[in-house]
Structure 1
Amino acid sequence: MKIKENYRVREIAGENLIVEQGKSQADMTKVISLNNTALFLWKELKGNDFSLEDVAHVLMNHYSIPKEQALIDAQKWVNALSSCGVIG
């Protein structure tokens, strides 16, 4: 999977939001606000093909958490981005 190129993170009113480039109006039903961990993953993985295991590996290395917890957290991140069509 890969984060689609037409999506960017913008800081708006102190929040890190994913926005789709080239749209004259934002679809507010698909707004995703990123916490610090989600933003970290975005920055680490943007532009690269990655698997769920890759996401978990980034989390394990950065936060020193067990693989089982990293996989759960990675799945939540992937699900959130997939549900809004950000990952292809």
Structure 2
Amino acid sequence: MKIRENYKVRSIAGENLVVSQGQAGCDMTQVISLNQTAFLLWKELVGKEFEIGDAAKVLTDNYGILREQALKDAQKWVDKLIQAKVIDA
């Protein structure tokens, strides 16, 4: 899977927001705000093909959590971004 190239993160009023660039007529009713952990995953994985295990490794490397918990958390992050059509699965 991969984060779609037309989506970028911009810091607006202290929030990390996912915005679509270069797409006329996009749905602006949905705002995606990334917390610190979600933003870390984004920074580490944007522009790359990745699997759930890759996202989980970012979490275990940075937070020292168990792999099982990291896999669950990574799956939730990916599921939300797939639902928002930000990730191509």
* Identity percentage of aligned residues: 60
SS at match of 1:5: coil
Q: What do the CA deviations read for 1:19-70 (whole angstroms, capped 9, x no partner)?
A: 0001356523332100000000000000000001111011111111001110
RMSD: 1.3
TM-score normalised by L of structure 1: 0.92
Comparing 27-36 with 74-83, greater Cα deviation is found at 27-36
TM-score normalised by L of structure 2: 0.91
Residue in 1 aligned with 2:79?
A: 79
Q: Which stretches in structure 1 are left out of the alignment for 5+ residues?
A: none
Q: Which stretches in structure 2 are left out of the alignment for 5+ residues?
A: none
- Equivalent pairs counted in the alignment come to 88
Matches within 5 A, 1:35-74: 35-74=35-74
